[in-house]
Structure 1
Amino acid sequence: MTDALHIVCPHCHTTNRVRADQLGSAPDCGNCKGALFTGKPLDLTTATFDKHLNRSHIPLLVDFWAPWCGPCRSMAPAYVAATAQLEPHIRVAKVDTEAQQALGARFQIRSIPTLALFVGGREVARQPGAMGQADILRWVKMHLPVRK
């Protein structure tokens, strides 16, 4: 498969073209030379969210959380562990709803943690409540479109 995908850099937020068959070979950003996939969730802000949502050709998984939330803190290690298995085919991110209140309001986040999965710039699934690593992986795979 040699289709080019657009992948937004987690460091400088520049859109990069990466061949689909080279996603797994640790591609770097053409602009800042940083790794396009870091193995940990990307912290998104109001300023960077839409770039990753609309410019990347891979799905975006977002954990809407807050630092004071006990279940959010307890789920964090499982979310990080899931990231290692989901990248590079899914961008895994976090939104601190305390610091980024506009994003929490925009997506009508009523409870935290809440996972939201976006494909092609549109939300395709949402799951409130803390989950373990296996449940996160199962939930994401269950809601991804089948590729032909």
Structure 2
Amino acid sequence: MSENLHIVCPHCSATNRLPSPRLRQNPQCGLCHQAIFDGQPLQLNSQNFDKHLTRNGIPLLVDFWADWCGPCKMMAPAFAQAAKLLEPDIRLGKLNTETEAAISARYNIRSIPTLILFKGGRELARQSGAMSTQEIVRWVKAHH
């Protein structure tokens, strides 16, 4: 028996209801008809953060980063590669702490990069410091 999951489209933010087996069948958004999973981290901002946080039936891994942060820039390719490996089980997103200071303050972000794994709007785990692709995947799987 399959479970129906709500999955927020990374392109138009429409909420799609999908049976769990369809997650691996390259589903498209019912509204904008684009791929729901494209193997790329989602750019999160004040307009879409809360919807992706609370309306997705899969966990959300957020990379809190900033343009001026050297370790953040070094980790960016590893985080992008992790998206290819973790989707569709996990949605990955990036949130710029400089342009979205209110959200980073809400989660008490004190050092960057910081990864937070959420499920159902609740924080499951947090890790600060740059990580390799393999370390990100291993850490997520240990806390998922």
Q: Distance in 1 between matches of 2:73 and 2:94?
A: 12
Q: What does the per-residue CA deviation read over 1:100-134, in whole Å, with 9 as the maximum and x for residues that have no partner?
A: 11111111100000000001210010000000011
Q: Distance in 2 between matches of 1:93 and 1:72?
A: 14
- Of all paired residues, the percent bearing the same amino acid is 58
Q: Distance in 2 between matches of 1:71 and 1:133?
A: 14
Runs of 4+ in 1 over 2 A off after TM superposition: none
| Amino acid of the structure 2 residue aligned with 1:82 | A
| Amino acid of the structure 1 residue aligned with 2:92 | V
Q: What does the per-residue CA deviation read over 1:50-74, in whole Å, with 9 as the maximum and x for residues that have no partner?
A: 1001111100000000011000000
Question: 1:58 maps to what in 2?
Answer: 58
Which sits farther off after the overlay, 1-10 or 66-75?
Answer: 1-10
SS in 1 for 2:47: helix
Query: Does residue 107 in structure 1 map to residue 107 in structure 2?
Result: yes
Structure 1 residue 2, shift from structure 2 partner: 2.0
Kindly report the root-mean-square deviation, in angstroms, between the aligned alpha carbons of the 2 structures.
0.7
Q: Structure 2 regions of 5+ residues with no counterpart? A: none
- The within-5 A match list for 1:26-105 is 26-105=26-105
Question: 1:24 maps to what in 2?
Answer: 24
Q: What does the per-residue CA deviation read over 1:22-60, in whole Å, with 9 as the maximum and x for residues that have no partner?
A: 101110000011110111100000111010011111000
Q: Distance in 1 between matches of 2:44 and 2:82?
A: 18
Q: Distance in 1 between matches of 2:44 and 2:111?
A: 18
| Amino acid of the structure 2 residue aligned with 1:10 | P
